[in-house]
A and B are shown apart, each in its own frame.
Chain A
């Protein structure tokens, strides 16, 4: 059975000074895919292209058989929710922020949330374990709490595709694991299709079913963690020496970096 849910077909977006060119891949319904690549390879630009933040130059995006460019912004926001880094936060109450996830379902002149809106927001605040912060301000939360609140808001949009832009940056390892475990649960239990930009190759390996590697505005390769996290591929794209091994516990590939310091001392011997 064809389980393809999201099709990116020869997609190009961006501006003259930087653009993504000819990106093509498919996501299955309920899959968990990671986008990796060096700084400036176009990972975040790709997300902007999907959410209409920057102009599409060529190609198309198909979600559940529908062309994204034919949807209104609100229709799109009901299909795709994105969690990205916060920049200069406004002091908004957590509950009000999560309720903003209902905007795509509300009418323009609807001043008050419906009971249904509130119960949906409540459900996802409970699921992401942020219910206790509901009366706090966003500005009062820690990095990990903020990410969970942002996920609660994204889920409140009841999307079919969840995009995450580096959800673990600025988090310590405890919070990294907690957050990705949460996303994994959403993926497994709700069947939510997840596409995540992530810097940490080992976290990507550990959590994602498939990886897509971007390099300099192009899609370099895609496949399972074992296929993509090959030291030759990583060295070519990241231009730094690495060693890959297998995590004895999960049997997933692990990438070790090699520092210049060690390289020098080894070659001296």
Chain B
């Protein structure tokens, strides 16, 4: 019985890894210049033609994008699934709580003030992250009363602060120069085009680290499916656990949005799809969300790069349209409530 369930899980995880590897290979070979799969394998595994343009293109341009896609897609869907768990609400996503608004505001402020020009381009992700953290801290502080975190209040507070942040953003966009405006819009729409290799690596390792840490709380997430009070009656210190999980999810979303901009919908649709397959057990949902989220963003990025090549579409456009369509099709086929 149970061995059976775990066996199925392992099969699915292997399947998801294969899917991910497949999307990585596609991501490396497809583009303005298509590289044949056989050539790709020869270059990577046999070390042939390593002085060719293709090799440089693959390792210097496409590989960093694919890795960032994996890190950001995985991170955003993991953040989504964790938040949906603590709020017991499948419609919450990482950006519901104002994290994207805060990050956008931070980045916009940097661009308007020209800090990225004077201090260096690292200011963009840094200010995005700072903005996200500031918003999280605000939401957290407002929802805290007498040492108890009112978790459901946070949702409403987050949505409200989101509105305020986006109004602030619009204000900045209204008063700044056209050139800055372009920079802000470009950043907000999201892109995996990041030139700093060490930043990409940092993003991947941080997100993988949080994935591992989140598994320490997987039992609590499962118990929270019964509601906070019932989880507490089973011995889960919900007051502490929900705070830690909230911080983990916020960090994930903050990291992703500060490196790649606002890539919407991933944190909503991927966990939802997986719930249709696996049910609500977080032991499988956490890892599978990370894997499928990464795959989804890598594939979306391929489309973003190729559809109007040589120009590039914002990846947020692709994830939104693709995700929304898949979602509607699946929902209309499914009769029962998730």
Contact = CB atoms under 8 A, between A and B. Distances in A.
Contact of A103 (B6, B217, B236, B283): B236
A143 B278 CA distance: 25
B215 A113 contact: no
B276 to A, nearest CB: 11
Interface residues of B, number: 29
Interface string A236-261: 00000000000000000000000000
B233 A82 contact: yes
B4 to A, nearest CB: 11
Contacts of A95: 1
A73 interface: yes
A77 B235 contact: yes
Interface in B314-338: 336-338
A112 B6 contact: yes
B280 A84 contact: no
Given A87-B227, A92-B280, A100-B223, A108 B216 contact: yes
Nearest to B218: A111
A74 B223 CA distance: 13
A77 B233 contact: yes
Given A90-B88, A118-B2, A73 B237 contact: yes
Interface string A100-111: 110110101111
A91 interface: yes
Interface residues of A, number: 38
B222 interface: yes
Nearest to A82: B233
A195 B222 CA distance: 28
A111 B232 contact: no
B286 to A, nearest CB: 11
A248 to B, nearest CB: 40
Contacts of B235: 72-78, 103-104
A92 B281 CA distance: 8
- Identify which of B226, B279, B281 gathers the most chain A CB atoms within 10 Å of its CB: B226
A90 B226 contact: yes
Contacts of B48: none
B116 interface: no
B247 to A, nearest CB: 17
Given A73-B235, A111-B218, A112-B6, A103 B223 contact: yes
Contacts of A92: 225-226, 279-280
B42 interface: no
List the 6 closest pairs (A to B, CB-CB), nearest first: A74-B235, A77-B235, A104-B235, A90-B225, A73-B235, A103-B234
9 contacts: A72-B235, A77-B233, A77-B234, A91-B280, A92-B226, A97-B226, A100-B222, A100-B223, A118-B2
Given A73-B236, A92-B225, A95-B1, 15 more contacts: A48-B229, A73-B235, A82-B233, A90-B88, A90-B280, A91-B338, A100-B222, A103-B219, A103-B223, A103-B235, A104-B235, A108-B219, A109-B216, A110-B219, A139-B337
Interface of B: 1-2, 6, 88, 215-219, 222-223, 225-227, 229-230, 232-237, 279-281, 283, 336-338
